[in-house]
Amino acid sequence: MQITVVDYDSNWETMYLKEEQALKEMLQEDLISSFHIGSTSVSGLKAKPIIDILLVVNDIAGLDALSSSFEKLGYEVMGEFGIKGRRYFRKGGDNRTHQIHAFQFDQVQDIERHLSFRDYLRQNPQVCTAYGDLKSELAAKYPNDIEGYGDGKDDFVKKVEQEALKWHWKTR
């Protein structure tokens, strides 16, 4: 996979909304809520042009029975893919366009972690800029190494996630 970080694109929100509609039609009453997360959901943030979607569902195991429906929408079904209780789906192969992180409604810690990180970046332009710059540097350093790219972001992301969760509870 070629790692490319680009400037923010206002079309990303439209891409999310289009995909959200298809997912709502497919999941119907199984879906509680969906959210645009990740860097493409933060105005002004440099990002890999991949739309991250967070789904909150009634029963996570129920998504397993919908594997063929996800595949019809172009998704590769990846199971938990490293996070217990999550279901992960990706679309576009080596030129990935979308990825879904689905959690059962009561897996609050993972849901809040994603949403708080997004909201904190939206409210803190200096942190947002620093994150975008780091991602650009890492993409240049590891243009074909997703693990190197991810490892390079890990400390920054973990630190900001902690700040974001504290900020979330202070502003609630």
Cα separation, 53 vs 38, whole angstroms: 8
- State residue 1's pLDDT score: 80
Burial classification of residue 13, based on how many CB atoms lie within 10 Å of its CB (0-12 exposed, 13-18 middle, 19 or more buried): middle
Cα separation, 107 vs 25, whole angstroms: 23
Average confidence (pLDDT) over 116-133: 98
Q: Cβ contacts of residue 172 below 8 Å, gap of 6+?
A: none
Residue 130, token pair as written in the block = 């620093």
- State residue 24's pLDDT score: 97
Residue 106, token pair as written in the block = 């009561």
Task: Report the percent of the chain where pLDDT is more than 70.
Answer: 100
pLDDT digits (tens, 9 = 90+) for 49-105: 999 999 999 999 999 999 999 999 999 999 999 999 999 999 999 899 999 999 999
Cα separation, 62 vs 43, whole angstroms: 33
